[in-house]
């Protein structure tokens, strides 16, 4: 059950409600949002009706009550950058961090374009064990240093629970990649942190499975989750994946969590990235995430889909123009 308090409920009244829910055998979880609200399982309607601070309650039929709770939309804040506050957040950076110079060049280009969140892989989940698998903690440090020099926040992927603490030290947001969307120990581990999480869609995951993955993180107490659509498997090898932009409006009706789109992995074709980023914003996405490399021809991973720095400039201009047109 979701229990929502009156908008003028005091701190003491909230504590009294928590106490009453606990006394009834539930462990109430505070939900994010403007009003004080709790997820409390196993309590009766008679009990909550009798609590004066309670304004309303909902029996939640959802299998993911936290990811699909009613009420205000969640704004995820990474350093001072917001996802879901109504403006389009553009995250950019290399697929993999390859050297201090490479990541600094990208960070500098991002900052010059007014971007504030830098991505970059240090631990790369690769389909083949013979592909470049990232430079690990050294790469994460170079990413952090480049971001600090240019005033950027950092998002980077974690692949295993044992790496989460180190990543929290160096990054501002933890990415759970497509291949790990159902790595349940990893979801639980990032859910125990208070570092925002970027949860990518599994490559053949339904929206329901994806929301259940988000539920693992929320259930751990971490309410700062951004969903990232990155394409799903299709029958057609013309594109690396089939970018499911319908997921954006469909998720908006099913969850309060912000949704961004990664057209780089979603299509896997450099020249399609800008148009699909524009389409994502037109579909209502809270942001986009794209790969960029100072010299895509020499990239150690995903060079074929990396934007050049001038292309990133074009993407930012076009996305901002659509954003302005939509908010008029």
**Quick check: 89 binds ligand PEP (CB under 6 A)?**
no
Long-range CB pairs of 144-150, under 8 A, 24+ apart, other chains included:
144/170, 144/171, 145/100, 145/104, 146/100, 146/103, 146/104, 146/106, 146/107, 146/108, 146/118, 147/107, 147/118, 149/104, 149/107, 149/108, 150/104, 150/107, 150/108, 150/110, 150/111, 150/118
**Quick check: 197 binds Mn ion (CB under 5 A)?**
no
**Quick check: 296 binds ligand PEP (CB under 6 A)?**
no
C-beta of 305: minimal distance to ligand PEP in Å? 10
Binding mask 83-112 for Mn ion (x = CB under 5 A): ------------x-----------------
Q: Which listed range, 19-27, 127-135, 176-184, 185-193, lies at the site for ligand PEP (CB under 6 A)?
A: 176-184
Among 28, 65, 84, 121, binds ligand PEP (CB under 6 A): 121
Nearby residues of 13 by Cβ (< 8 Å), 6 or more positions away: 5, 52, 53
C-beta of 304: minimal distance to Mn ion in Å? 10
Which of residues 38 and 123 has its CB atom nearest to ligand PEP in the complex? 123
CA distance 85 to 70: 17
CA distance 191 to 138: 25
Q: Is residue 88 within 8 Å of residue 319, measured between CB atoms?
A: yes
Query: Tokens at residue 86, please?
Result: 């109504």
**Quick check: 228 binds Mn ion (CB under 5 A)?**
no
**Quick check: 262 binds Mn ion (CB under 5 A)?**
no
CA distance 36 to 32: 8
C-beta of 76: minimal distance to Mn ion in Å? 22
Q: Which listed range, 38-46, 100-108, 177-185, 309-317, lies at the site for ligand PEP (CB under 6 A)?
A: 177-185
Which of residues 6 and 179 has its CB atom nearest to Mn ion in the complex? 179
**Surface-to-core class of residue 35, CB atoms within 10 Å of its CB (0-12 exposed, 13-18 middle, 19+ buried):** middle
Q: Which listed range, 21-29, 138-146, 175-183, 273-281, lies at the site for ligand PEP (CB under 6 A)?
A: 175-183
**Quick check: 95 binds ligand PEP (CB under 6 A)?**
yes
CA distance 273 to 109: 18
CA distance 74 to 255: 9
Which of residues 36 and 290 has its CB atom nearest to ligand PEP in the complex? 290
Number of H helices, E strands in the chain: 11, 14
Q: At what angle do helices 207-219 and 184-192 cross, to 10 degrees?
A: 40
Q: Which listed range, 8-16, 42-50, 237-245, 299-307, lies at the site for Mn ion (CB under 5 A)?
A: 299-307
Among 74, 81, 89, 178, binds ligand PEP (CB under 6 A): 178
227-256 binders of ligand PEP (CB under 6 A): 230
C-beta of 241: minimal distance to ligand PEP in Å? 8
C-beta of 42: minimal distance to ligand PEP in Å? 37
CA distance 175 to 237: 26
136 contacts which partner out of ligand PEP, Mn ion, none, CB within 5 to 8 A by kind? none
For Mn ion, the binding residues (CB under 5 A) are 95, 302
């Amino acid at each position: 059950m979701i229990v929502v308090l009156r908008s003028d409920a005091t701190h003491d009244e909230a504590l009294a409600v928590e106490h009453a829910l606990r006394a009834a055998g539930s462990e109430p979880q505070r939900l994010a949002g403007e009003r004080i609200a709790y997820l409390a399982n196993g309590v009766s309607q008679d009990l909550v009706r009798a609590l004066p601070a309670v304004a309303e309650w909902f029996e939640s039929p959802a299998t993911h009550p936290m990811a699909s709770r009613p009420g205000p939309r969640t704004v995820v804040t990474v350093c001072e950058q917001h996802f879901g506050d109504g403006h389009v957040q553009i995250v950019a950076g290399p697929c993999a961090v390859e050297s201090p110079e490479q990541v600094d060049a990208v960070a500098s280009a991002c900052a010059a374009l007014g971007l504030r969140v830098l991505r970059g892989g240090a631990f790369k989940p690769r389909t083949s064990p013979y592909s470049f698998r990232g430079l690990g903690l050294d790469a994460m440090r170079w990413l952090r240093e480049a971001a600090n020099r240019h005033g950027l926040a950092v998002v980077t992927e974690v692949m295993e629970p044992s790496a989460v603490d180190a990543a929290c030290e160096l990054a501002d947001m933890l990415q759970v990649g497509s291949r790990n969307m159902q790595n349940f120990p990893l979801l639980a581990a990032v859910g125990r942190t208070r570092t925002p999480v970027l949860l990518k869609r599994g490559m053949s995951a339904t929206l329901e499975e994806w929301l259940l993955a988000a539920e693992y993180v929320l259930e751990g107490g971490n309410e700062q989750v951004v969903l990232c659509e990155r394409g799903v498997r299709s029958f057609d090898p013309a594109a690396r994946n089939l970018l499911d932009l319908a997921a954006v409006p469909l998720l908006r009706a099913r969850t309060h969590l912000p949704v961004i789109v990664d057209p780089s992995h979603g299509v896997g074709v450099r020249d399609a990235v800008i148009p699909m980023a524009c389409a994502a914003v037109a579909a209502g996405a809270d942001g986009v995430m794209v790969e960029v490399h100072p010299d895509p021809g020499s990239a150690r991973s995903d060079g074929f889909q990396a934007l050049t720095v001038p292309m990133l400039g074009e993407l930012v201009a076009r996305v901002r123009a659509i954003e302005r047109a939509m908010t008029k």
